[in-house]
Chains A and B, each alone.
Chain A
Amino acid sequence: GEDVEQSLFLSVREGDSSVINCTYTDSSSTYLYWYKQEPGAGLQLLTYIFSNMDMKQDQRLTVLLNKKDKHLSLRIADTQTGDSAIYFCAEKPTDKLIFGTGTRLQVFP
């Protein structure tokens, strides 16, 4: 079946690293995604990783993919208050995206 799971909350101190984890079930997705939702806004693509890659780095963001364990993670280095948002991971086994429940990241000073 299609199921994507995430923890609901994460709280970190400003300047620390944040790691948001996700597990998925369908191994046929060509890409896996991280979306960010800021308060009062729609979801916006933050980054994605091709399924034949293990890691992708983009400035403060690092995505790790463990296909064997079907585990995806997003690391945000030097977390800032502007990173406070809900983060969704998603897989795309067919034409539609399967989203996780979202992880609410709270950054405190």
Chain B
Amino acid sequence: DAGVIQSPRHEVTEMGQEVTLRCKPISGHNSLFWYRQTMMRGLELLIYFNNNVPIDDSGMPEDRFSAKMPNASFSTLKIQPSEPRDSAVYFCASTLQRGGTGEQFFGPGTRLTVL
């Protein structure tokens, strides 16, 4: 398996623009997580899905952020409009709930820079 795939790996955009981050979880996994990592705030859970359904979005910073999971093999995290304080590394992770040790497998991340 190729692991969790994220695209793009790097994104540089200007303030006010829409940004879409993409994630393909490991085949067969039934939970998907979006995290944000910054030096100041560390690793933050933004939202997670079980069986394509959003379960907990309490970590989403504000209405500018939205996430979807239209099917088991794809998820997006959208920021509209983007702001400089959104600059961070965004990670996607997936796991098989109730099927093992609960290990989450992380993607390589998308480094977002908002100018």
* Chain A residues close to B by CB (< 8 Å): 30-31, 33, 41-45, 48, 88, 92, 95-97, 99, 101-102
Q: How far is the CB of B98 from chain A (nearest CB, A)?
A: 9
Q: Which of A42, A48, A99 has the most CB of B within 10 A?
A: A42
The interface residues of chain A lying within 8 Å CB-to-CB of B101 are 31, 48
- A41: which B residues are within 8 A, CB to CB? 108-109
A43 touches B48 (CB 8 A): no
Complex CA distance for A86 and B27, rounded to whole angstroms: 28
Nearest neighbor of A92 in chain B, beta-carbon distance: B102
The 3 closest A-B pairs by CB, nearest first: A42-B106, A43-B106, A45-B103
Pair B42/A42 contact, Cβ less than 8 Å = no
Residue contacts A-B, CB under 8 angstroms, 6 given: A33-B103, A43-B43, A48-B103, A92-B102, A95-B50, A97-B104
Judge if B25 is at the interface, Cβ distance under 8 Å.
no
Given contacts A43-B91, A95-B31, A95-B50, contact A102 B42 (CB under 8 A): yes
User: Nearest Cβ distance between residue A66 and chain B, in whole angstroms?
Assistant: 20
**Residues of chain B in range 88-115 having any CB-CB distance to chain A below 8 Å:** 91, 93, 97, 101-109
CB nearest neighbor in B for A94: B56
B residues in contact (CB < 8 Å) with A: 4, 31, 33, 42-43, 45, 48, 50, 55-56, 91, 93, 97, 101-109
**Chain A's nearest CB lies how many Å from the CB of B12?**
16
Residues of A within 8 A of B42 (CB): 99, 101-102
A101: chain B residues within 8 A (beta carbon): 42
Extra pairs beyond A43-B91, A95-B48, A101-B42 (9, CB < 8 Å) = A30-B102, A33-B102, A33-B103, A42-B4, A42-B108, A45-B104, A48-B103, A88-B43, A96-B45
